[in-house]
Amino acid sequence: MKHLGGHVALHNTFDRRTALRLSGFGAAAWLTRVADLLAVESEHAPQGEPARSIILLWMAGGPSQLETFDPHAGRSIAGGTRSIRTSVKGIELAEGLPRLAEQMDKIAIVRSLTSKEGDHERGTYLLKTGYRPDPTVIHPSIGAISCHELPHGGTEIPRHVSILPGRWPARGGMLGDKYDAFLVGDPAEKVPDVTSPVSSERLAERIEALDIVERAFSRGRSGQVEATRHRATVEQARGMMASEQLAAFDIQQEPHAVREAYGDTPFGRACLAARRLTEVGVRCVEVTLDGWDSHANNHEVHRELVATLDPAIAALLADLHQRDQLRQTLVLCGGEFGRTPRINPLGGRDHWPHGFSYVLAGGGVRGGQAIGQTDPEGGSEVDQPHDVADIHATALAALGINPLKENISPAGRPIKLSEGQVIRPLLG
Amino acid sequence: MGTKDLLLVAICATGLAVVASIVVDAGGSRRNHLPFPPRDAAFQGTVERVDHTFRQAWQSAGVSPSVRAADLAIARRLSLSLTGTIPSLEEIRRFEQQPAEGRIDWWLARLLADRRCSDYLAERFARAYVGVEDGPFLLYRRRRFVAWLSESIHQNRPYDAVVRDLIADTGLWTDRPATNFITVAMIPETNYPDPDKLAVRVCRSMLGLRIDCAQCHDHPFDDRWTQRGFQSLAAYFGSTEQGLSGIYEAKRPYKVEDYKSGEQVTIEPDVPFDGHLLPDEGTLRQRLAGWVTHPDNRAFARATVNRMWTLLFARPLVEPLDDIPLGEPRPDQPEQIVLDRLADEFAGSGYDLHRLIRLIAATEVFRLESRAIAVSGDAAELTDVQLHSWAAFPLTRLRPEQVVGGLLQSVSLTTVDYHSHILRRIIKVIGQQEFVERYGDVGENELTSGGGTIPQRLLMLNGKLVDERTDSNPLMNAATRIAMLAPTDESAVETAYLAVLTRRPTTAESGYFTEQLTGPEEDARSDKLGDLYWALLNSSEFSYHH
């Protein structure tokens, strides 16, 4: 973790960072000062230190709660899906997640998320930003907020990354597109666009040529051209191209056994890359596992995807734990909605935003608990319902960010980072 | 990418005919266009009054305007704003053959007759009307909607008629494309649209009003906008339903939950201002449409002018783009005075959109330089007052689709349009989508904020599209062909500048790059021109409207 801190200009992030801290819970942990931020360098964060990165495992399409984190084995709504025991007494997962079940003590499940968005695009927006779509403003995703709020540190590569991005990757929204996630594909492939297609000598000549063109354009408008920061951004991009931190994308540097544990799938590789990225100070890595939209053959679709998810998420949690990084890395897992308790004539389950599951782990989240319950008979009423925004408020709180902090939208409207309520038992 | 390789093979296979059509300028005579309509007295008078208003404002602020920009710079502005791309080398040559007097008008007439223009404008307008969402599955056909808008713009259908269709049309979204304005707002699992959402769209995109906040509460400092007033406006969409015959008007009163008592209350439709303009006849939506587009409803013309101005300058005349004051402008508000002059002329012309574009493009401010020209020495800079009072053309970041449009055009010497070879067009579409995805779509926002991003720069510095299009490739890439065909090093440099930046190099630039080209031959020479192309494409000049 030598990269963090050091000589890097932290000033530009401190002035943005709010001085407001939540009080009333967690007490001193919320009073993060400059000195504490510099102390982030320590690998052994003291108890109560806020998390500093998020890994968001995005289950695109909307996974069925019944075939994943909220089984109702034996009930008619289960449609034959069985459940398995976990390392925590009294909490069961759906069959097909045996390795995650071993890690149950590290994870918390909220089984009673409710939403009014039953459309993929709108639901994705809600889950990624904590807000329903609004024609007047584009809300930032949680990854964008964390990059905006938390110190820059010594990170030379993009601090917001989306691996295997789906159709609607995380955006910076009103915070600006510089907070959009940097999109990369399967870590088996090279990271796009970070290596020059020409030799370094030729690149140097090209940059010299660029300066000739820039000089001509700046004449008579140098102040304006300077203000665009175009040339400075080119330099930042070149800095990234030269950065050793790019190696974080290269999972080939991991031992074979580690790679094997995550699973030989694009998603497994992406989870491993996500872990490596957070180690060099990337604030948020979104990793997408797509294909959960099981309007037909629900069980089959889920069997396959769960087989990909299980080793990857379990290995990620175990790996983070073993490296003593789980405390500082918040892992989230979920999709845009759940699926209907009733199975349709095609053997599928349709969209169901009325009660679905979301998983949180690490980052100070107290594992080994399940919050809320869905109706075993398939009704749309849930016990201890939570808004999607509550997940956001909780995640922000875990990162030491005050959810009530406001940004001003382009229309001049103050908008809170989250309007949700922190789910306190999660951080207990 | 396998697809592109295949396409390249296919190009080779189609043989010499294609090669010839690409290498040789065959574009000369095939594109006829309408003659430019003469400027009538009303047109000329409006332009003069607009120019006069700005000049007065400059005078009282004690600033002088920048000089007139070069014709090529103005042509580039028009192409970027109206077609999302830049003039091709072939077009530049023809442009320069026109008599200097009136060649901007000639160019504009050519653009307005070009399908690329109506397609581009339709997409810009569509984002305001229906956003970029995919919308409800099966009930919404965005492409149909954009194609219909494009056709309307191409035919120069009166804009008020277009807007009346958007608000009031009935039928199936597949054969009445305007109804997609309604169906995009359908509430999932119901048969009716969200009236609030539609009311917000009407206000922002057609009236230039932001009363969205009244959706949830009374306006904090403008007592004309109450929550009940907003609900009354939404009530015009409160009886709209979708059935077998598509969108129709049902006989259903519009009810909402009173947020205090929790009871269902019936809301009577009403407009927020100028109620006397409301027609007595017609369905609810027809009446609303009649009110919005009534010639005396100035909010409508103002909103349209402000949007068109924004498209042309990449900066709204009155900010923000869709929140325009309703009252009469004060004498110290030159922008609002100009807005009114243009709006009156626009309404008076029967909402002639092409004429509005020509009007704005004919103003002095549209044709100003975006830089300070030094009288002596090189130190001249624009002052903040000049920049804020339209005394120079604003420098603004291009939208992603303009960057890629310019990129794909610059690497081809002939015009990439509907007349281009199908394979080139396919490659264009594939390249464009991939690029915009990585560059980052700005969505509904008409204006891009702040500077560019690091991923954008990486994409231009190292990305596949730029690399493939500047690489040595005599079939596809202008750089290689210029290296092969240009008679002298100097003209090769000049051609590259014209193709990418729509201008000739300065003496210093020409000297530097000509020297670079002197010596190397064949591949090495192509590489040098590729490097020049790369530098031009990566410059701020290329990525900014100026």
Contact B382 A119 (CB under 8 A): no
pLDDT for B485 equals 87
Q: Which of residues 51-110 of B touch A (CB under 8 A)?
A: none
pLDDT of residue B441: 67
CA distance A172 to A152: 16
**Best interface-test mutation with B: which of A121, A162, A224 has the largest number of B CBs within 10 A?**
A224
Using the 8-state DSSP alphabet, how is residue A186 labeled?
A: -
Mean pLDDT of chain B: 86
H-type alpha helices, B142-185? 142-154, 159-168, 180-183
Residue A7 has pLDDT above 50, yes or no: no
B540–A224 CB contact, under 8 Å: no
Q: Which residues of A touch B131 (CB under 8 A)?
A: 135
Q: What SS3 class is residue B376?
A: coil
Assign 3-state DSSP to chain A and report helix, strand, coil percentages, each to 5: 35, 15, 45
Q: How far is CA B454 from CA A100, B161, B487, in A?
A: 37, 44, 38
B63 pLDDT exceeds 60? yes
Determine what percent of chain B is predicted with pLDDT higher than 90: 57
Q: How far apart are CA B308 and CA B124, in angstroms?
A: 10
How confident is the model over B224-231, as a mean pLDDT? 83
Residues of A in Cβ contact (< 8 Å) with B527: 202
CB-CB: which of B188, B437, B532 is closest to A119? B188
Query: By C-alpha distance, which of A344, A355, A334, A354 is closest to A294?
Result: A344
Is residue A249 scored above 70 in pLDDT? yes
Q: Give me the pLDDT at residue B425, please.
A: 63
Cis peptide before A187 (omega within 30 of 0): no
Lowest mean pLDDT among B99-108, B371-380, B451-460, B493-502: B371-380
Has residue A5 got a pLDDT over 80? no
Out of B21-30, B119-128, B189-198, B317-326, least confident range: B21-30
Task: Pick the closest to residue A273 from A257, A290, A256, A259 (CA basis).
Answer: A259
Q: Is B393 helix (H, G, I), strand (E, B) or coil?
A: coil
> Using one digit for the tens of pLDDT, what is the confidence trace for A66-101?
999 999 999 999 999 999 999 999 999 999 999 999
B204 touches chain A (CB under 8 A): yes
Among chain B residues, the shortest Cα distance to A180 is held by: B440
Q: How many CB pairs under 8 A join A and B?
A: 172
- Does B461 contact A238 at a Cβ distance shorter than 8 Å? yes
B109/B98 Cα distance (integer angstroms): 13
Residue A369 has pLDDT above 90, yes or no: yes
More confident residue, B153 or B32: B153
Which pLDDT belongs to residue A341?
97
If phi > 0 it is left, if psi is from -120 to 50 it is alpha, else beta; for residue B263 that is: beta
Could you tell me if B440 lies within 8 Å of chain A, comparing CB atoms?
A: yes
Minimum Cα–Cα distance from B130: chain A residue: A135
Q: Which of residues 245-284 of B touch A (CB under 8 A)?
A: none
| More confident call, B464 vs B9 | B464
| Residue entry with tokens 């009577």 | B268
Report which DSSP code applies to B368: B
Q: Kindly list the residues from chain B whose CB atom is less than 8 angstroms away from the CB atom of residue A122.
A: 133
> What pLDDT does B36 receive?
67
